[in-house]
Amino acid sequence: APSAPPPPSNTVVPPSLPPYFIKGSIIQLADGELKRVEDLKTEDFIQSAEISSELKIDSSTVERIEGSHTSPNFAVVQFSVGEHRAQVSVEVLVEYPFFVFGQGWSSCCPDRTTQLLELPCTKLSVGDVCISLTLKNLR
Amino acid sequence: NVEPRSVPVFPWHSLVPFLAPTQSD
């Protein structure tokens, strides 16, 4: 079973761009199947979450995208998460890719994502619905 | 003999950058 990431605070700052977003990175789905990161589909995330005993898919709608006050290389993306529309902001590098339902990888600066990671990417926009995760059976 | 270099394999859930907030109902 996958080990769950730590609980969220309202703002999450990933330390750097993780290596698994580089084109060609091998990703293991919950059923054991291996896929390249650029070949992942929405169904892969949904089916993996269905198999997972800990995690389930939630939808996060992009409500606002603005430049970070700390660095021009960062952006703050505000999401409305799940049916309760909980507000979560994440501060990420502008090239950080999010997976948009039915669309694929998207970032605030897709040109930079493609340049740095070679990952095919579209522009993340307000209204896009991204894949996020939540824990199952939380009380 | 040269050992084959192992290719890192990443779990699918690591690609999602954050967990949604816990719902309390």
Rounded to whole angstroms, how far apart are CA atoms A12 and A56? 19
> pLDDT-derived band of residue A4, with 50, 70 and 90 as boundaries?
low
Q: Terminal CA-to-CA distance of chain B, rounded, Å? A: 60
Nearest CB partner across the interface for B19, out of A19, A20, A135: A135
The distance of B6 to chain A (nearest Cα, Å) reads 11
Structure tokens at A3: 């080990």
Q: Is the ipTM, as predicted for this complex, more than 0.85? A: no
Name residue, tokens 């892969």: A44
Per-residue model confidence as pLDDT tens digits over B10-23? 999 999 866 656 55
Structure tokens at A69: 């006050």
Using left for φ > 0, alpha for ψ between -120 and 50, and beta otherwise, residue A104 falls in left
Per-residue model confidence as pLDDT tens digits over A48-65? 999 998 888 989 999 999
